[in-house]
Amino acid sequence: MSALLGHSHPDIVATVREQIGTLDHLFSGMLSRPVVELCTQLAALAPGLERVQLLSTGAESNEAAIRMAKLVTGGHEIVGFAQSWHGMTGAAAAATYSAGRKGYGPAPVGSFAIRAPNAYRPRFKHPDGTLDWRSELDDEFALIDSQSTGNLAAFIAEPILSSGGIIDLPQGYLAALKKKCEERGMLLIVDEAQTGLGRTGLMFAFQRDGITPDFLTLSKTLGAGLPLAAVMTTAAIEEEAHKRNFLFYTTHVSDPLPAAIGLAVLTAVEREQLVLKAQQRGARLRQGMLDLQKRHECIGDVRGRGLLLGLEIVTDRELKTPGFTLGARITEECMKRGLSMNIVKMPSLGSIFRIAPPLTATEQELDQGLEILDESLKAARQG
């Protein structure tokens, strides 16, 4: 999910060696050239989101966005998806619903969740059985309105819910969600920790819907595996937050070393045309997985975008019965053959492999992975 450029990419290696010998850490109030240049380039990639703060982790970037949204709106209620993952710190953990909620006491007042639309397991359907996400969204927000005390501050959303089982929000959903937020005076936070910087075949996944969120948070892919994150917002929001004495501060805010790495990542993404390659190789990988689905009855669904794909394992295609035990066997068989496969096991969703190779993966490597998966599927089913 994080190694956007694979491991030990020469640009990253060279940048770390050079920057560590020049300047690695500064007092957070002092801005270095790598920090200014990275913020400038990020702002150019996301027009309308020209105010940038650099942090270390995705949880921190989501924490900062939520904190700013509360300050600017004057509200305290935060809505997320019931299958979400936004981090393990305070407000980010309160907006994380896919795991890690039990045993830690009460969440902050005003923590609400709605279910993300799932095209494979639709709750609201058109007459032909396909997902009716608009009716579902209307119904979910009617429930939010009935619970809210009139202090809604923000909605935080991943364009593709990864830990939630590679649930790709339908085209148009983010635009409709933004409208719901605007109607209620809420701000929209889009968490692109895993989808940002080309992985879905666009620089940012939200661009498919033709909208600009109020906040964009980046992390995993921005540092290509090293600790770097960013929160981006509009000039109007940042200026209002500044007037209200916004404070979000860590020891490593705006450190020059990770900022230099971020610059190297952006340079490599552009020079190597990795956004286009994510489209092309993602299509190749998806087709390979669809071919596997034709040969293996245990593959219930193939979904996702670009090089962030999901493969759901079932024991009965018609009933869509999750294949938890079978999925675990497939994972073991893949590892025996040198392929690491990350599986999500959620009783309410199913048994889903999350497949996110580096954008630098070659066609030969993708084909090899598909070949190993094919062999492992056969071995697991025979076992």
Tell me: do 240 and 315 sit in the same domain.
no
Does 293 reside within a domain? yes
Which range of residues forms the domain containing residue 66? 10-271
CATH of the domain at 97: 3.40.640.10
CB atoms within 10 A of CB 239: 13
- Here the contacts of 130-139 (C-beta below 8 Å, separation 24 or greater) are 131/170, 133/170, 133/173, 134/176, 137/173, 137/176, 137/177, 137/180
Q: Tell whether 39 and 66 lie within a shared domain.
A: yes
- On whether both 267 and 288 belong to a single domain, the answer is no
Q: How many domains does the chain have?
A: 2
Contact 217, 65 (CB under 8 A): yes
Residues 286-323: b if buried by 16+ CB within 10 A, e if exposed:
bebbeebbeebebbbbbbbbbbbbbbbbbbeeeeeebb
Domain annotation covers residue 4: no
Tell me 170's DSSP state. P
Domain final residue pick, 256, 271, 286: 271
- Cα dihedral across residues 75, 231, 170, 131: positive or negative: negative
The neighbour count for residue 176, using CB atoms within 10 Å, is 18
- Look at the block and give the residue holding tokens 């579902």: 136
Judgement on whether residues 255 and 284 belong to the same structural domain of the protein? no
Same-domain status, 113 and 262: yes
Residues 256 and 322 in one domain: no
> What is the pLDDT, as a whole number, of residue 348?
63
267 and 278 in a common domain: no
Say yes or no: 278 and 195 in one domain: no
- The H or E element that residue 34 is part of is helix 33-45
Is 197 within a domain? Answer: yes
Q: 10 Å Cβ neighbour count for 71?
A: 19
Task: Please write the tens of the pLDDT for every residue from 340-381.
Answer: 987 877 766 679 999 999 999 999 999 999 999 999 999 998
- Per-residue pLDDT tens for 95-125? 999 988 999 999 999 999 999 999 999 999 9
Contact 332, 344 (CB under 8 A): no
Residues of the chain predicted below pLDDT 70: 347-349
What pLDDT sits at residue 29? 86
Q: Are 309 and 282 in contact, with CB atoms under 8 Å apart?
A: yes
Residue 193 shares a structural domain with residue 313: no
1 assigned to some structural domain: no
Domain boundary pick from 271, 287, 322: 271
Phi-psi region of 245 (alpha: psi -120 to 50; beta: other; left: phi over 0): left
User: What is the tens place of the pLDDT at every residue in 221-259?
Assistant: 999 999 999 999 999 999 999 999 999 999 999 999 999
- Residue 2's pLDDT is what? 94
Task: Please indicate, yes or no, if residue 253 is contained in any of the structural domains.
Answer: yes
The verdict on 178 and 305 lying in the same domain is no
From 209, 237, 271, the end of a domain falls on 271
Backbone angles phi, psi at 316, to 5 degrees: -150, 110
Provide the annotated active-site residues: 85, 158, 191, 194, 220, 354
Q: Which residues of 123-148 are buried (b: 16+ CB within 10 A; e: fewer)?
A: ebeeeeeebbbeebbeebbeebeeeb
The answer to whether residues 26 and 139 belong to one domain is: yes
- CATH number (domain holding residue 320): 3.90.1150.10
Per-residue pLDDT at 28: 86
Residue 5 lies in a domain: no
| Any domain includes 24 | yes
Residue 190 and residue 261 in one domain: yes
Note whether residue 2 is domain-resident: no
Could you give the CA distance from residue 119 to residue 379 in angstroms, rounded to a whole number? 30
First-last CA distance in the chain: 30
